[in-house]
Structure 1
Amino acid sequence: MTNLTAVLEFRLLGFSSNAHCQILLFTVVLVIYTLTILGNIIIISVVTLEPRLHLPMYKFLQNLSFLEVCYTTTVIPKMLANLLAKRKNISFSGCMAQLYYFISLGATECYLLAVMAYDRYLAVCEPLHYGVVMTAESYTCLAVGCWVTGVFTGFLPCLMVSRLRFCSDNLINHFFCDISPLLKLSCSDTTVTEAVIFILSFLVLASCFLLTLVSYLLIILSILKIPSASGKRITFSTCSSHLMVVTIYYGTMISMYVRPTYNLSSELNKAVSVLYTVVTPLLNPVIYSLRNKAFKKALEKIVIRHHRLHSL
C-alpha cells in the first residue's frame, strides 16, 4: 500500500493531553475492560458447563459474549497503551487491520442481536412451533451465517478507505482508527467512498434494527395477552432491558455511520464512540444473563459444585 499513500503510520490524538486526566481515564477504562472480559468469560463458561443451558437462546448468548471479548479487544488495549505512551502511533497496516476487525465484529453483532430477537419472538409468540423451527441445525446455520456475513461486510469499507491517499498530515483525532476521522484526514476525493459506506451502513444497521425492533414489539403485544400481572411484569422487565441495550447500541451506531457526510465534531464523535466500544459491551452480560433466573441458578450450581470439590 506504500505506493498508494505517502503516510506509513498515523498518530492517534486520543483524549485530553492532561497527564492527570489520562491516568484517571486509563484507570476507569481498565476497570471497565476487566469487568467486561470477566463477565463475558463467565457467561461462556457457565453455558458450556451447564447442560440445561445448551439451548439456542443461551448458545446465541455465548456467541454474543465471545464477540464482545473480541470487539472490545480490537480497540481498548491499544487505547489503554496510548493513554500512557508518549508516542501514540499506529502503522498504516495496523490501522487498516483495526478498522477491518472493528467493522466486521460490529456488523456481526448487529446480525447476532437481530437473530437473538427472532429467537425470543419464536419462543414467546410461537411456542408450539419453536422446537420445530429452532433446531440445533437451525441455530448452527444462523450463528455461522452471522459470523460469515460479518466477515464479508468489513471487506468493502476497509478496502475503499485503504485506497484513499493520505498526504503529509497523519494526525487522527480519535482514540482508534475509525471511518470518520480517516475520511476527514484523506487528501483524496472521498465522495464515492462516503456514499458506498453510507449505503452499506444503512442496509446493515437499518435492516437489523428494524428486524430486532419488530420482534420485540410482537413480543410485547404477546405479553399484553398474559392474564397474570406478575407474569407480565417479569417478562416486560426482561424485554425492556434488552430493548435498552439494543437502543443504545443501534442509536449510537446509526448516528455515527448512517450519515451522508461525516461532519460530527471530533469530541462528540469520540464521546459517542466510547458508548458502543466501552460501555455497551459491559452492559450486555449484565442485561442478557445476570437478570436471567435460569442462568443465575446455573451459576450458583457451578459455584457450589466447585466449592464442594475444593473442600474435600
Structure 2
Amino acid sequence: MDPKGQRVKLNDGHFIPVLGFGTAESKEVLKSEALEVTKFAIEVGFRHVDSAHLYQNEEQVGQAIRSKIADGTVKREDIFYTSKLWCTFLRPELVRPALEKSLKNLQLDYVDLYIIHFPLAMKALEKCKDAGLTKSIGVSNFNHKQLEKILNKPGLKYKPVCNQVECHPYLNQSKLLDFCKSHDIVLVAYGALGSQRIKGWVNLNHPVLLEDPVLCAIAKKHKQTPALVVLRYQIQRGVVVLAKSYNKKRIKENIKVFDFELSLDDMKAIDGLNRNIRYYEFLIGVSHPEYPFSEEY
C-alpha cells in the first residue's frame, strides 16, 4: 500500500489504485455519456478506469482518457486502465487481435491490466504482456479451484495479478479473499454497491443492498452515504473496489471514500451481513463445465 493508502502493489511490481471507476452501463445509456462521465471521473480524482470490449464504449472511454492527458490533467502513466477479453475470443490465436482491437478503439499504446473470464487462454495472455500490449494480466470470476489450476500450471510465466469478482456485504467472498491474499493475488470487487439492477443481467428479486438498515445506521453515524460505507469496507479489508455510476453527483461523492475510516466494530457488523447473495448469476453459462459459481468459493 502506498502512503496515502490509495494504491496497492501487484505481484508483478505494478501498482493498482484501490478505487476504480466502472464504465459498464445498460444499453439505454448513450455512448456519448461514457465520454462525459469518464472525463468527469478523472477530473474529480479517479485514476483507475475499468472497461471491456463487451461494454462497447472503449472508443469513448479512450477519448476521455486522451482528452484529459491532452489538457494536462493527467499523464498516461497516472491512469490505470483495465480491459477484458470476452468469451468469444478465447482461442489462443484470437487473444492478441482482440486486445489490439481494444487498443485501436482506445487509441492507446497499452492497457495496464487485461483480464480473462475463463481459465483457457493464459499462454496467449502471457504473450500479450511480453509484447508490451498490457502491463499486467489477471482473471475474473474464478473460484479457488480454477485459480489453483492456473497457479499449478507447469511453465506458468506470470501469475494473474488479480481476480475480479462480484463482492459486497451480502457476498463478502471472505474465503476467496483469504485464498487470493495467500497467493499474492489482489481481489477486485465489481457489483460492490449491490448492482444497478440492470434487467436481464441481475436477479431483481434480491433485496437492495444500500437500503440495508445496518449499513444505513453506520452511514448515519459517520455522516456518509451507505454507498461510501460499502466502498470503504472493501478498501479496509484489502480489496480493490470498482464504483460504477453515471451520475456526476455520486461520482464526486465516491472519491470521498478516503476521507473517513470505519471502526473494527463497524467492520464486524458489515461482515455479519454476508448471506451469499449473488446479483450477477450469469445463468447463461450454468451448464458449462467451467461455470465458476458451483463451488462454495
Could you say which TM-score interval applies, normalised by the shorter chain? under 0.3
- Please, what TM-score do these two structures have when normalized by structure 1? 0.26
Greater Rg by CA: 1
Name the structure where helix makes up a greater proportion of residues: 1
- Please, what TM-score do these two structures have when normalized by structure 2? 0.27
